[in-house]
A = this chain, B = another copy of it.
Amino acid sequence: MDLVNELRRILPAEQVSTNATVLEQHSKDESYHTPHLPDVVVFPKTAEEVSRVLAFADKHSIPVVPFGVGSSLEGHVIPYEGGISLDMQLMNRILDISPDDFLVTVQPGVTRLQLNKELKRYGLFFSVDPGADATLGGMAATNASGTTAVRYGVMRDQVRDLEVVLADGRIIHTGRRSPKSSSGYNLTGLFVGSEGTLGVFTELTLKVYGIPESVMAARASFPSVESAVKAAASILSNGIPVARIELLDQRSIQQINIHNHTSYPEQPALFLEFHGSAAGMDGDMENVKELCAEEGSQEFVFASDAEERTRLWEARHNLAYAFVHHSRGKQQMSTDVCVPLSELPGAVLYARKMMDEYGLDGGLLGHVGDGNYHALILVDPDDPDELERALKVNSYLVEYALSRGGTCTGEHGVGVGKVKYQRQEFGEAIEIMRSIKLTLDPNGILNPGKIFPVR
């Protein structure tokens, strides 16, 4: 069968590409995982087109891998079995904004910055901020989160309804527009985080928030990681409206200073943001400062205006770049475990110890309110020994997290990189996941090889 010509019967010819550059762009993500070319890239414009492609692929058992902007970090979008890369970039329209319902409906190729730019005109914003300007379809597929999850929740908490095209081409809606429901099974929550293995999202209805009346940010330095985490716990349990609470270790602050020509004390630090009412904010800010002082914070600085605040968060968001840019020939491998809150200080200290032991450089940063931290390990992809040491440390950090009730991935997802930990993490429950997969995708065409081996 001539796959490309068959697809050109189904879709307009210009929406089906085998251009070498296009294939290469769809062979990789932003991770260290080995690229693999798809046989063809298609660019659907409607759910009906997605449905036709899937029904065709299902009939002929051709793999289909959905693709957003390729910002995934565990090889999710790499088509290891070839087949069709389903690029959603032409489905990039914001279909509805309902300010009174705090809801938007978007196509999956809309990116979060594109959405936030539009929402600003309504005094609204979309909360999930994974750093990259990912597509909302991709963010839902991996259950992405980021710095604001401590306040607003993760991607799964924002998705109210999905239009999903199933492997056989059927189109369903999983949810409703009401804020709550105890009706039917929670399919929305099941599809979110399924990484393209259960269906392809063609429409998302998402929760949005009013831009807070008052936003404050601050930076606090601490003598140790433990004291920083303790201060974070006090702030979190005091009813203070924390929107972001990020831990950066000493090495990370050092790199921020190098990259941004700042002179922050080279100590573990918390970067904080608060969203609340103007009336409530003043009292709370004094309170935060005191709670940090009680844990020995030696420098506490408010970033009161928008410009200072932006500078602070840019420094945080650009941390990976700050490392890579100043380390010739190096790339970044990011670990992503998440542990119970009480285990975070120990996990972070263990990570630094392992990196030191294996001669690896890089930063440690944590979403302290979520128990989720990343080791940004610098690796030279052309140095197999260093790559192997980094992989070994990554696996030690996962083992540490799993042995303490944590998970191998807090927000990046499983992709191919974390497949090997699924059995250890879930035990027999893996069989239930597998049976759901086989029920919804009996021919195994949807993103094969991701999350767990099906057969």
| C-alpha gap A52/B231 in the complex (Å) | 48
B429 adjacent to A187 (CB under 8 Å): yes
A266 to chain B: which residues have CB within 8 Å? none
**Does A112 lie at the interface of the complex (its beta carbon under 8 Å from any beta carbon of B)?**
no
| C-alpha gap A411/B170 in the complex (Å) | 29
With both beta carbons as reference points, the residue of chain B lying nearest to A209 in the complex is identified as B237
A185 to chain B: which residues have CB within 8 Å? 190, 193-194, 198, 433, 436-437, 451
Most buried by B among A180, A240, A433: A180
A286 to chain B: which residues have CB within 8 Å? 279
**Does A407 lie at the interface of the complex (its beta carbon under 8 Å from any beta carbon of B)?**
yes
A284 to chain B: which residues have CB within 8 Å? 277, 279-280
A193 to chain B: which residues have CB within 8 Å? 182, 185-186
**Does A383 lie at the interface of the complex (its beta carbon under 8 Å from any beta carbon of B)?**
no
B212 adjacent to A371 (CB under 8 Å): no
Q: Return the contact of A157 from the options B157, B343, B426 (Cβ within 8 A).
A: B157
The number of times this chain is found in the oligomer is 2
| C-alpha gap A98/B343 in the complex (Å) | 12
A405 to chain B: which residues have CB within 8 Å? 176-178
**Does A384 lie at the interface of the complex (its beta carbon under 8 Å from any beta carbon of B)?**
no
**Does A44 lie at the interface of the complex (its beta carbon under 8 Å from any beta carbon of B)?**
no
A178 adjacent to B432 (CB under 8 Å): no
**Chain A, interface size: which category?**
35 or more
CB within 8 Å of B: which A260-315 residues: 275-284, 286-287
CB within 8 Å of B: which A158-190 residues: 166, 170-174, 176-187, 189-190
Q: Which candidate, A15-23, A63-71, A100-108, A323-331, is the interface stretch facing chain B?
A: A100-108
| C-alpha gap A193/B142 in the complex (Å) | 23
A176 to chain B: which residues have CB within 8 Å? 405-407, 425
A184 adjacent to B281 (CB under 8 Å): no
**Does A28 lie at the interface of the complex (its beta carbon under 8 Å from any beta carbon of B)?**
no
A425 to chain B: which residues have CB within 8 Å? 176, 183-184
With both beta carbons as reference points, the residue of chain B lying nearest to A402 in the complex is identified as B176
B180 adjacent to A411 (CB under 8 Å): yes
| C-alpha gap A439/B149 in the complex (Å) | 34
With both beta carbons as reference points, the residue of chain B lying nearest to A434 in the complex is identified as B185
Q: Which candidate, A30-38, A250-258, A333-341, A352-360, is the interface stretch facing chain B?
A: A333-341
A160 shortest CB reach to chain B, Å: 9
| C-alpha gap A198/B242 in the complex (Å) | 38
A341 adjacent to B172 (CB under 8 Å): no
Q: A372-B180, A405-B177 are in contact. Are A166 and B280 (CB under 8 A)?
A: no
**Does A435 lie at the interface of the complex (its beta carbon under 8 Å from any beta carbon of B)?**
yes
A239 adjacent to B435 (CB under 8 Å): no
B180 adjacent to A426 (CB under 8 Å): no
Q: Which candidate, A53-61, A78-86, A387-395, A412-420, is the interface stretch facing chain B?
A: A412-420
| C-alpha gap A414/B452 in the complex (Å) | 33
The digit string for A420-433, where 1 denotes a CB below 8 A from any CB of B, is 01100111111111
* Cross-chain pairs A/B with CB under 8 angstroms, 14 sampled: A101-B343, A172-B428, A173-B429, A178-B407, A179-B370, A183-B425, A184-B422, A184-B433, A185-B437, A185-B451, A277-B287, A279-B282, A280-B281, A280-B287
The 6 closest A-B pairs by CB, nearest first: A279-B283, A280-B280, A177-B405, A189-B189, A100-B342, A210-B237
